[in-house]
Amino acid sequence: MPSARLAQTGVICAVATLLTACAARVGTPSQVAPVASVASLPAPVAPVESAPSVPQVDPVFELIAVSTVHFETGERELRLGHLQTARTEFNRALEVLLESPYGGRTEPQLREHFDRLVERISAYEVTALAQGDGFEEQRSESATIDELLALSTFEAPSPTPETAQTVAADLESSAHDIDIPLNARVLSFVQLFTGRLKSFLEEGLSRGIRYLPMIQDIFRAEGLPLDLAYVPLVESAFKPTALSRARARGIWQFMRGTALENGLRHDWYIDERADPEKATRAAARYLKTLRDAFDGDWHLALASYNAGPGRIQRAIKRSGRTDFWKLAASSRYLPRETRDYVPLILAAIVIARNPAQYGLEAAPLEPPRFETVTLPTAVDLRRIAEWIETPIQTIQELNPELRRWTTPVRATEYDLKVPEGTAELVRAQLAQTDPDELAPLNWHVVKKGETLLSIAKKLKVSRADLAEANYLSARARLAAGQRLMIPRAPAVLLASRPETPAPPAAERATADVASASERAPRVAPPAPASRTYRVRRGDTLSSIARLHRTTVASLKSWNRLSTNAIQVGQRLRILTTSATATD
């Protein structure tokens, strides 16, 4: 850009010289001197080019631009869940103003920019501290089974002769390890899956390619039909975080009770229903139990996977029929959902075994590549994401069983999956970080006479969450001096997924200051409430920050403090929300 401006200046000068010369020619004609006098004329003087003007940079404008770069970098880091880096960038956005020769409060433009940043940064910090202490439950996706069974409420389309011929030829040439009858119900769902639900099934198959080798290995070792590996295609479309309206979760859509019966862990921190491998091992155990309960009849076993074995056994007893298709012929014995469930599964198996034959294209999704790190204590997942410069969502996707942004609090060890090539970096950071700084915890020491209910009311949390987070029953009696971990509300702000990935660190470091100066900070979080605290004897900024669940840096920003020194009786401004207000 500077070279372009110089060239432009040169062009302007040349044009000006040319115009001057032309004006001399067309002006008042001068008398012609005799030839003899020509020698006495002075030599022509070369025109002097004017020096190109250097644009003047307003130092105040430049300071605002640099400050804005840091603020916007902090916003990006916050959206990625990198809380510490975001806080550093926010603090730097203010420091470049405070450390300038002008100070942050002298020039009107700087003062306006400084005040606006303080309000916005404070609102971000208050929201993050009030809601983002690592206890947000991971977001869930809708379960495929809900959508499919809702669609089946309307009659599935009648199969065309071409579909019937294709399926018949397929069944004759392909060996299946469970019986698939060539009946109207199965054919109608094949027609549905190859028609208006074609893209629906393709998406599920693409995702399933990640997990099918693992599922088939486990089923092969357990002596189960490999066709059953496609049950998650209908149940969840192979989405680990799928959650149904009935609160079933994971690729196998386990209800909580059934999951616990089959060895899966479920508590405030962990839900192993969302762990594809552990859930598959539990599914293998459960399917074998159902197979044995119905003497190896997989149609009845699949029906009981949907409705529960007790319901199927009662239907058999009432009807006197032991054949699923005879039970399903009448609405008297089985609900519509279960009558549709078995042919849905069988149709999905037929197509998934030979998708190309049915016109489906399933582009395989790249399986995640990861390494495992054994954590010695509870760790905030955001710290790990920050260490390896990856979005928090990447860590969550590799560890879908973690319900919160933290590993279990009381676990002595936890095996965490991290992106391939980052395990050594995580181990190095763990070795040099104080364990007290690793977990996003707030603790409360129980006083005499306190109960779970009184503490929950005081700290504005749910008694059920407080009990579950500390592995206690809701009616547990507390002892004075007992330490309780205090959970927080879900982190709506920090959980938001950025629409585009943040640029790499090197690119962030060389951000274009000039272009940033043209953009004011755009995100305006909710304005926090303000309260006043009077400093008491023995108070420090650190103790006041802990009392109000904030940081020393925030207190200094809110109160324009350049040092940590405070005096008894001094009034401090505290920005807060209802979630962080103390009694």
pLDDT tens-place string over residues 331-356: 999 999 999 999 999 999 999 999 99
pLDDT of residue 122: 65
Residue with token string 């979005």: 391
For residue 414, give the H/E element and its range.
strand 414-419
Q: For residues 73 and 86, what is the distance between their CA atoms, to the nearest angstrom?
A: 7
Between residues 76 and 146, the one the model is more confident about: 76
CB 371 within 8 A of CB 417: yes
- pLDDT-derived band at 513, boundaries 50, 70, 90: very low
- pLDDT-derived band at 129, boundaries 50, 70, 90: very low
Across residues 164-189, what is the average pLDDT?
94
Q: What phi-psi label fits residue 141: left (phi over 0), alpha (psi between -120 and 50 degrees) or beta?
A: beta
DSSP for 66-123 reads HHHHHHHHHHHHHHTT-HHHHHHHHHHHHHHHHTSTT-SSSSHHHHHHHHHHHHHHHH
DSSP 43: P
Between residues 25 and 479, the one the model is more confident about: 479
- Quick one: tokens of 421? 């090539």
CB 413 within 8 A of CB 385: no
- Quick one: tokens of 305? 């996977």
Alpha-carbon distances of 27 from 19, 22, 42, rounded to whole Å? 12, 9, 21
pLDDT of residue 530: 66
Q: Any idea which of 106-115, 165-174, 277-286, 521-530 has the lowest mean pLDDT?
A: 521-530
Tell me, yes or no, if the pTM score tops 0.75.
no
For 246, residues 6+ apart whose C-beta sits below 8 A from its C-beta are: 255
Q: For residues 390 and 95, what is the distance between their CA atoms, to the nearest angstrom?
A: 27
Between residues 204 and 530, the one the model is more confident about: 204
The number of angstroms, rounded, from the C-alpha of 370 to the middle of its chain's C-alpha atoms is 18
pLDDT of residue 131: 45
- pLDDT-derived band at 93, boundaries 50, 70, 90: confident
pLDDT of residue 33: 41
Q: Is 48 helix (H, G, I), strand (E, B) or coil?
A: coil
The pLDDT > 90 percentage for the chain reads 39
Across residues 90-111, what is the average pLDDT?
72
Between residues 233 and 100, the one the model is more confident about: 233
pLDDT tens, residue by residue, 453-503: 999 888 877 788 788 778 788 888 999 988 887 765 333 223 322 333 333
pLDDT of residue 313: 97
CB 488 within 8 A of CB 130: yes
pLDDT of residue 151: 61
Between residues 73 and 215, the one the model is more confident about: 215
CB 461 within 8 A of CB 451: no
Nearest of 496, 491, 504 to residue 390 by alpha carbon: 504
CB 344 within 8 A of CB 234: yes
Across residues 515-522, what is the average pLDDT?
36
Burial status of residue 411 (CB atoms within 10 A of its CB: 0-12, 13-18, 19 or more): middle
- pLDDT above 80 for 257: yes
pLDDT of residue 208: 95
DSSP 40: G
- By annotation, the residues acting in catalysis are 235
- pLDDT above 90 for 90: no
- pLDDT-derived band at 576, boundaries 50, 70, 90: low
- Quick one: tokens of 539? 């108070």
Q: Is 375 helix (H, G, I), strand (E, B) or coil?
A: strand
Nearest of 200, 170, 195, 197 to residue 182 by alpha carbon: 170
CB 547 within 8 A of CB 582: yes
Contacts 24+ apart (CB under 8 A), 305-311: 305/231, 306/337, 306/338, 306/341, 306/342, 307/334, 307/335, 307/337, 307/338, 307/341, 311/338
Alpha-carbon distances of 579 from 202, 487, 549, rounded to whole Å? 44, 12, 10
- pLDDT-derived band at 96, boundaries 50, 70, 90: confident
CB 298 within 8 A of CB 178: yes
pLDDT of residue 56: 61
Between residues 144 and 268, the one the model is more confident about: 268
pLDDT tens, residue by residue, 541-561: 877 877 776 777 677 777 777
- pLDDT above 90 for 191: yes
Nearest of 565, 425, 579, 364 to residue 492 by alpha carbon: 579
The pLDDT > 70 percentage for the chain reads 72
Q: For residues 161 and 83, what is the distance between their CA atoms, to the nearest angstrom?
A: 60
- Quick one: tokens of 203? 């998406």
Q: For residues 343 and 240, what is the distance between their CA atoms, to the nearest angstrom?
A: 24
- pLDDT-derived band at 415, boundaries 50, 70, 90: very high
Burial status of residue 199 (CB atoms within 10 A of its CB: 0-12, 13-18, 19 or more): exposed
Average pLDDT across the chain, whole number: 77
pLDDT of residue 509: 30
Nearest of 369, 382, 400, 314 to residue 139 by alpha carbon: 400
Domains located in the chain, CATH noted: 141-358 (1.10.530.10)
Burial status of residue 565 (CB atoms within 10 A of its CB: 0-12, 13-18, 19 or more): exposed
Burial status of residue 111 (CB atoms within 10 A of its CB: 0-12, 13-18, 19 or more): middle
pLDDT of residue 497: 29
Between residues 388 and 107, the one the model is more confident about: 388
Across residues 511-530, what is the average pLDDT?
40
CB 516 within 8 A of CB 61: no
- pLDDT above 50 for 521: no
pLDDT of residue 300: 98
Length of the chain in terms of residues written: 583
- Distance from the first to the final alpha carbon of the chain: 58
